[in-house]
Amino acid sequence: MEGWQRAFVLHSRPYSETSLLLDLFSENEGRVRVIAKGARSKRSRLKGTLQPFTPLLARWSGKGEMKTLHTAEAMTLALPLSGRYLYCGLYVNELLSRVLGQEIPFDELFFDYLYCLQGLASATGTPEPVLRRFELAVLGHLGYGVDFLHCAGSGEPVTETMTYSYREEKGFIASLVLNQRSFTGRQLMALSDREFPDSDTLKAAKRFTRMALKPYLGGKPLKSQELFRQFTLPAGPATPSQE
């Protein structure tokens, strides 16, 4: 199976009358853009295979930014995402498409992505803990290192009841000022552990990842947000971090 890679489709769009232009997230090469020639034709054996959330074995080649897909096989059925979990999956795909450069290996992030999809597929309650863990993983793999457990000003360990203010590119500094950049030591400990036992720590994690991801996403809105806003739930949808 030399030359084959495990991959997922992040995004696809028509390319010419019979082909598809795909953004793949692959285990060994990161995000790769490929042309799937003839994939839209009725006789194509790829028809129905190149879908989001389907684990693939794929092979492509080419020297430019746009590769040519030779073949792809579904390793298993698509991970079953529906309702709000489907919209969260679309958000995760769009997030990766926006923040990852082309052909930069992120082999560990590939498995974080797989675990995220599996978490969404098996979730029965709020998907937010799964999303927050994945967003924190993305930030870590992008090189966005932040120490949640020590005060950036003094180097002292954070304490549960103290309040800290988030400073970009610096970290958290002890502060008596309370605003959107304020976090308690307890909330920072939860962020460090990536465990959110209650609504307080979940809301804090959402605030942090929203702020930390903003420089990578820029001012352009996420399309998955717009789709999510059109999807209403009786209990109120759990929103992706960027909403």
Task: Please report the pLDDT score of residue 81 as a whole number.
Answer: 94
Order of all β-strands in the sheet with 171-174:
171-174, 163-167, 182-184
Give the predicted TM-score (pTM) of the model.
0.88
Dihedrals φ, ψ of 95, to 5°? -60, -50
Closest CA to 120 of 240, 211, 201: 240
What would the two tokens of residue 155 be?
């180097």
Task: Please report the pLDDT score of residue 231 as a whole number.
Answer: 59
User: pLDDT 10s per residue in the chain (243 long)?
Assistant: 347 999 999 999 999 889 999 999 999 999 999 999 999 988 888 888 999 999 999 999 998 889 999 999 999 989 999 999 999 999 999 999 999 999 999 989 999 999 999 999 999 899 999 999 999 999 999 988 789 999 998 899 999 999 999 998 789 999 988 999 999 999 999 999 999 999 999 999 999 999 999 988 877 777 776 666 665 444 444 556 554
Dihedral sign of CA atoms 223, 124, 76, 132 in order: positive
Domains, in order of start, for the chain: 5-74 (2.40.50.140), 83-231 (1.20.1440.120)
Q: What does DSSP assign to residue 195? A: -
Task: Please report the pLDDT score of residue 144 as a whole number.
Answer: 84
What would the two tokens of residue 5 be?
């890679």
Closest CA to 128 of 224, 204, 223: 204
What would the two tokens of residue 154 be?
């003094």
* C-beta separation of 161 from 185 below 8 A: yes
32 vs 94, 106, 124, CA distance in Å?
14, 12, 32
